[in-house]
Copies of this chain bind each other. A is one copy, B any other.
Amino acid sequence: MSNFEGVTVVKKANVYFEGKVTSRAVLFADGTKKTLGIMLPGEYEFGTDSKEIMEILAGDLSVLLPGESDWTDIQGEGEFTVPANAKFKLKVRTVTDYCCSYIAE
């Protein structure tokens, strides 16, 4: 799916890490939310509130998921899931375009 149709977009951006990570929220008619974001090269740690499915649309990065000791590499497109109330780390090597889905449980 290359477009999201019939959605609400929050105009103002979310800005993290001095702008090296930014996103905008997309709200769906069914009450769910996604963010579309960009990460510039760097190392980041994020925390989740809800479960998150991170779809990488383009990029070159490694992710350390909670409870894991090995990093997983993603080049180009990819996806990973992070449980609720968890932390995960990213090493981003090139400009990375992502779509994050927030999953209520």
Contacts and interface: CB of A to CB of B under 8 A. Distances in A.
Interface string A7-20: 11111110100111
Chain A contact residues: helix, strand, loop or mixed: strand
B12 A9 contact: no
A78 to B, nearest CB: 15
Copies of this chain? 2
Contacts of A19: 38, 40, 95
Contacts of A15: 38, 95, 97
Interface residues of A, number: 29
Interface of A: 1-13, 15, 18-20, 22, 24, 26-27, 36, 38, 40, 57-58, 95, 97, 99
